[in-house]
Structure formats: structure tokens, C-alpha cells
Amino acid sequence: MTPSQEYEPLDVDSLGARLAGVEILSRKVGPDASAWRVREVGDGNLNLVFIVEGPVGTAVVKQALPYVRLVGDSWPLPLYRAFYEYHALTRQAARDPGSVPEVYHFDEAQALIVMEFLSPHVILRRKMIAGERVEGLAERIGTFCARTAFRGSELSMESGAKKADVGLFSGNVEIPAITESLVFTDPYFDAELNSHTPGLEPVIARLREDAALKARVQRMLMSFASNTETLLHGDLHSGSIMATATEARVIDPEFVQYGPMGFDIGMLIANYLMAFFSQPAHRGDDPAAYQGWILETIEGTVASFEAEFARLWTTERTGMLFPACLFEDQGHSSEPAMKALLRDIWSDAVAICGIEMHRRCLSLAHNADFQEIEDTALRARLEARNLMMGRELILRTETVPDARALTAMAREFNER
Ligand code: SR1
Ligand code: MG
């Protein structure tokens, strides 16, 4: 396949012939494309994902579709998003080596990325629904969030390079627009693509009649849309992490954009909290003990984020912001400035967390943690706890000064 060929979606029958000329696939999978076994396994909302197996090894081929897969061709979506995903993966790999799958090949015209097959990894959300622990999860992902946040900002980058990169990613307009509506706007009015579990109507009415809540969410949207602090993953939930019992890797950064440093970690914590609230309805061995592990994971993730951020502050603060010539060189400690910044990041993360907890129950694209609960009365009860805690996080962010306060609040809402 040459890059100049017109875009055409792959399928399991055509993939071998069409990608036979991709040299790295011959090396990673096997030289004879007719011997490749191809499966389409995409279970996300947007793309085709193929696993290609051969006598030498296995690789993944991810291809963008020109529409939202979850909805169909009534919702067109530009293929150029694959370009931004590719550039996000290369930046994440450089900023936190080993955290993301290795990219083998990118074809812009076909909107496809050939990458490392992670095995025996499975999607973290599936593991959490099944009540399975992942050793080292908190440290791995907290560190990822800190390294990508710090190293993607002017704390580390030279000012011109950062501005140029903001310019590059600003071409990605349709993908942030999805988040702007599905996450920040649709949950708070009767949007066309919304759905919810029957029985939640009184809770939804309470959220939508709260002008202070909606105003606070819109302030967060303003920050998300216009604050270019760092390069975000942009969709860091438990479906964007693949894990074994002892290892975790981050995948799927196609929602990459510049945004506030607290966004990724806030979205991640929200998804851990939804695993927490939904766990009693699933078949884990000991749901209460597993819920305890989830809360420990949240606290550990934030602790790892802050520890790594502080380490980078001391060892890698080479960018335009908070330069040593204003602090250490003059005998001043920059630590209070770092602590104040971490407080602001946490405050954004708490509010984003509450908003994500709302959108996954009210807007399009619900998560399996709740959706797979067949007893809708039970699902509504558990979702209501999640929605009401989300409200508290958005409206009373300042009453949640740290991760311990957040997990204590989760325990309290879990009893309601
Ligand atoms: C139409 S896309 C819906 C959701 O799927 C992605 O994973 C993002 O979370 C997006 O909001
Ligand atoms: Mg995704």
C-alpha cells in the first residue's frame, strides 16, 4: 500500500493483501501475508482495530473510520484524527518510555497506525468489573500522568517549541468538540443522544435545575477549551489502559489536545470511582475488599503523580516557567510555588472528576461498569450515588483538599 492511495477501510479479508508491502509487518508478523490470521476486535466507539497474527509474531492495526462507529455514518468524523493520535503516541513514548504501545508504522492517507500487540494484557475496565487487581497500577499511571503533564508543558519545554506544538494540535478540531458537548454540555440538558437508566429522573432533574452547578461546569469547559497548559491524553479512562496482573500500559490517545493539567487524572479517578460504585453488582469474590483496593489505587495514583511531579520540578525544570534564576539562584525555595500549582491541578481534577461521573451515566457513551448491571433498579440506585457524589465534587471542590478526603467521600456516598 502506498500512502498516496485513496482512503479505504480495511476488512479482515483485504488486510493481508493491502498491507503485504508494509516492511515492518513482514518483520513483526511474517513475510508471507497470505499466512496472516486477521481478527477485527474493535470494541471502542470510533475505530477499526485488527489483530494480525503470523508465524513470527503479532501486531495491531488501528484504522480510523470516517464516522463515529458507535452512532453510524450519520455522524461523520475526520480521518485526520489518526495523525494526531500518532503524534500523541510518539510524544508519550518519549516523555514516559514504555508507557504506551510501540508504534511500528503510520499511514496518514489510510488513517492507520500499526503498533505493538500487548499480550496478555486486557482492558483494565474488564479487569475491574471482574474484581481483578493490578499490582503497581497506581504508581504506573500516576507517574504517566505526571511525566506527560510536566514534560508537555513550559515547565520543561522551551517556549517556542511548546507554542509550535500547540499550533500543530490545534488542527484537531472535531475531536475536542465531542468532549466539549458529550462531557461538559449534554448531561445538563435534554440532548438528542442522551440516555439514562429508568428511575434516575429525580436525580437528573436536581442536577439540571441547579444553575450554580451548570455555571461551574461551564467554567471548567472554558478552561478545557482555552487553557493549553500541557498535552493531554484526553480520554484517560479504564478503557484506555491495558493491564496484566502486574503491568499497565496506556493506549488510545486519539482525544489528545492541549488542556489543563488536572484533566487526565480527574477523568481517570472518575472512572475508578464508577468501578467502585458499580462493584457491588458484579461477581467479584469479595466486592467490599475490592472496593477498598480501588480507593487505595486512587490515593496511590495521586501520591505517585505528586511525587513524580515534585521530582521533575527539582530535576527537570528547564522551560520558561518558574526558572531557577528567579528562585534557587537567588536563594529562594520554589517549593511553595510548586505546592500551589499542585493544589490548582488537584482542584481542576476534582471538578473534572465530578463532570465525568455525570456524563458516563447521562450522555452518549455510557461505561460497561454500570451498563452491564441488568437489574435496572439496582443500576439506578448505584448510578444515583455516583451522580450525587459527582455533584458534590463539582460544587464543593474546595471541601476535597486531597485524595484521602475524596475516598472518604466515596465511602460515605456508597452507604446512601
Ligand atoms: C462519540 S465518542 C464517545 C466517547 O468515546 C470515547 O472513548 C470518548 O470518551 C468519547 O467521549
Ligand atoms: Mg478510546
Q: Is residue 219 predicted with pLDDT exceeding 80?
A: yes
Q: Is residue 81 predicted with pLDDT exceeding 90?
A: yes
- Asked whether 413 and 232 are in contact (CB, 8 A), the reply is no
Q: Is residue 2 predicted with pLDDT exceeding 70?
A: no
Ligand 2 center from residue 183 Cα (angstroms): 14
Q: Is residue 157 predicted with pLDDT exceeding 70?
A: yes
Number of C-beta neighbours around residue 207 at 10 A:
20
Q: Is residue 315 predicted with pLDDT exceeding 90?
A: yes
Q: Is residue 246 predicted with pLDDT exceeding 60?
A: yes
The 10s digit of each residue's pLDDT in 181-211 is 999 999 999 999 999 999 999 999 999 999 9
Closest CA to 368 of 105, 148, 124: 124
Q: So what's the pLDDT on residue 248?
A: 98
Question: What gap in Å lies between CA 67 and CA 70, rounded to an integer?
Answer: 9
pLDDT band at 59 (very low <50, low <70, confident <90, very high): very high
Ligand 2 center from residue 240 Cα (angstroms): 6
Query: Which atom of ligand 1 has the smallest separation from the CA of 182?
Result: 11
Q: So what's the pLDDT on residue 148?
A: 98
Q: So what's the pLDDT on residue 277?
A: 98
SS3 assignment, position 112 = strand
pTM over 0.90: yes
Question: What gap in Å lies between CA 9 and CA 395, rounded to an integer?
Answer: 45
Specify the DSSP class assigned to residue 322.
Answer: S
Please give the angle made by the CA atoms of 211, 197 and 178, to the nearest 5 degrees: 60
Question: What gap in Å lies between CA 24 and CA 17, rounded to an integer?
Answer: 15
- CA-proximal residue: ligand 1, atom 3 (nearest): 365
pLDDT band at 283 (very low <50, low <70, confident <90, very high): confident
- Pocket lining for ligand 1, CB < 6 angstroms: 45-46, 68, 70, 178-179, 182, 235, 255, 364-365
pLDDT band at 312 (very low <50, low <70, confident <90, very high): very high
Q: So what's the pLDDT on residue 158?
A: 95
Single-letter code of the amino acid located at 378: L
- CA-proximal residue: ligand 1, atom 5 (nearest): 45
Q: Is residue 3 predicted with pLDDT exceeding 90?
A: no
Question: What gap in Å lies between CA 374 and CA 377, rounded to an integer?
Answer: 9
Query: Which atom of ligand 1 has the smallest separation from the CA of 252?
Result: 7
Ligand 2 center from residue 44 Cα (angstroms): 6
Percent share of the chain, pLDDT over 70: 99
The 10s digit of each residue's pLDDT in 343-372 is 999 999 999 999 999 999 999 999 999 999
Q: So what's the pLDDT on residue 267?
A: 98
Mutate to test the pocket of ligand 1, among 46, 71, 73, 267 (most ligand atoms within 8 A of CB): 46
Cβ-count burial of 171 within 10 angstroms (0-12 exposed, 13-18 middle, 19+ buried)? exposed
Percent share of the chain, pLDDT over 90: 96
The 10s digit of each residue's pLDDT in 249-270 is 999 999 999 999 999 999 999 9
Tell which wins on pLDDT, 11 or 284.
11
- CA-proximal residue: ligand 1, atom 4 (nearest): 365
Ligand 1 center from residue 185 Cα (angstroms): 14
Q: What is the mean pLDDT of the chain?
A: 96
The 10s digit of each residue's pLDDT in 11-47 is 999 999 999 999 999 999 999 999 999 999 988 789 9
Q: Relative to the alpha carbon of 368, which ligand is closest? A: 1
Q: So what's the pLDDT on residue 1?
A: 54
